[in-house]
Amino acid sequence: MAHEISFIFNGNAMKMNIEDHWTLLHLIREELGYTGTKEGCGSGECGACTVIVDDKAVNSCLYLAAEIDGKQLTTIEGLAAADGTLHPIQKSFVEKGGIQCGFCSPGMILSAKALLDKTPNASEIDIKEAIAGNLCRCTGYVQIIDSIKAVSGYGEDEPHVVAFKTDEGERGE
Amino acid sequence: MRQFTYLTPKTLDEAISLHVAHGESARYVAGGTDVLVKIKEGKFAPDYLISLKHIIGQDRPFLNQETGELYIGAFCTHGSIEQSPLVQHHYPIIHDAVKNIGSVQIRNVATIGGNLVNAVPSADGAIPLIVLDSKANIYGTKGQRSVDLQRFFLGPGQCDLEAGEILTEIVIPPPLPRTGSAYIKHGRREAMELPMLGVGVLLCLEEDMTTCAKARICLGVAAPTPFRALAAEKYLKGKTVDENNLTEAGRLAGQESKVRDSIRGVAWYRREMVGVLVKRMGLKALERAKERHK
Ligand SMILES: Cc1cc2nc3c(=O)[nH]c(=O)nc-3n(C[C@H](O)[C@H](O)[C@H](O)COP(=O)(O)OP(=O)(O)OC[C@H]3O[C@@H](n4cnc5c(N)ncnc54)[C@H](O)[C@@H]3O)c2cc1C
Ligand code: FES
Ligand code: FES
- CATH fold for domain B61-172: 3.30.465
Q: Is the pLDDT of residue A173 over 60?
A: no
User: Is there a contact between A66 and B192 if contact means CB atoms under 8 Å apart?
Assistant: no
CA gap B256, A40 in Å, rounded: 42
pLDDT in tens, B249-267: 999 999 999 999 988 889 9
Q: How confident is the model at residue A162 (pLDDT cuts 50, 70, 90)?
A: low
Q: Which of A19, A64, A163 sits opposite B32 (nearest CB)?
A: A64
Instruction: Give me the mean pLDDT over the A60-75 stretch.
Output: 98
CA gap A145, A139 in Å, rounded: 10
- CATH fold for domain B179-293: Enolase-like; domain 1 (3.30.390)
DSSP3 helix / strand / coil % (chain B, rounded to 5): 35, 25, 40
Residue type, A58: V
Predicted local confidence at residue A167, as pLDDT: 35
* B232 close to B241: Cβ distance less than 8 angstroms: no
Q: Which of B4, B33, B105 sits opposite A20 (nearest CB)?
A: B4
Q: How confident is the model at residue A115 (pLDDT cuts 50, 70, 90)?
A: very high
- CATH fold for domain B5-51: 3.30.43
How close is the nearest chain B Cα to the Cα of A83, in Å? Answer: 30
Q: Is the pLDDT of residue A172 over 60?
A: no
Chain A residues lying within 8 Å of B6, measured CB to CB:
1, 20-21, 64, 66
Q: Which residue segments constitute the domains of chain A, with CATH numbers given?
A: 1-78 (3.10.20.30), 79-173 (1.10.150.120)
Boundaries of every domain in chain B: 5-51, 61-172, 179-293
In angstroms, how far is the first alpha carbon of chain B from the final one? Answer: 56
Q: How confident is the model at residue A168 (pLDDT cuts 50, 70, 90)?
A: very low
Predicted local confidence at residue A161, as pLDDT: 62
Residue stretches of chain B with pLDDT short of 50: none
Contact with chain A for residue B104, Cβ under 8 A: yes
Predicted local confidence at residue A171, as pLDDT: 32
How close is the nearest chain A Cα to the Cα of B44, in Å? Answer: 13
Collect all residues with Cβ–Cβ distance below 8 Å to B125 and sequence separation of at least 6.
Answer: B78, B97, B98, B101, B112, B115, B116
Predicted local confidence at residue B293, as pLDDT: 82
How close is the nearest chain B Cα to the Cα of A170, in Å? Answer: 24
B189 Cα distance to chain centroid: 21
Q: Is the pLDDT of residue A56 over 70?
A: yes
How close is the nearest chain A Cα to the Cα of B40, in Å? Answer: 8
Predicted local confidence at residue A164, as pLDDT: 41
A93 vs B195, higher pLDDT: A93
ipTM of this model?
A: 0.93
Q: Which of A23, A114, A163 sits opposite B1 (nearest CB)?
A: A23
Chain A: residues touching B (Cβ < 8 Å): 1, 19-23, 26, 42-45, 47, 50, 56-59, 62-64, 66-67, 111, 114-115, 129-130, 132-134, 163
Phi, psi (5° rounding) for residue A120? -60, -30
Contact with chain A for residue B45, Cβ under 8 A: no
User: Is there a contact between B53 and A67 if contact means CB atoms under 8 Å apart?
Assistant: yes
pLDDT in tens, A17-55: 999 999 999 999 999 999 999 999 999 999 999 999 999
Contact with chain A for residue B63, Cβ under 8 A: no
Residue type, A1: M
Angle CA B282–B287–B289, to nearest 5: 90
Q: Is the pLDDT of residue A158 over 70?
A: no
Phi, psi (5° rounding) for residue A141? 75, -30
Predicted local confidence at residue B231, as pLDDT: 98
Chain B residues lying within 8 Å of A22, measured CB to CB:
1
**Measured from the CB, is residue A48 less than 6 Å from ligand 2?**
yes
Collect all residues with Cβ–Cβ distance below 8 Å to B284 and sequence separation of at least 6.
Answer: B180, B182, B201
Mean pLDDT of chain A: 91
Of B226, B169, B167, the C-alpha closest to B199 is B226
Q: Is the pLDDT of residue A139 over 50?
A: yes
Which of B6, B19, B29, B94 maximizes ligand 1 atoms within 8 Å of its Cβ, making it the mutation to test the pocket?
B29
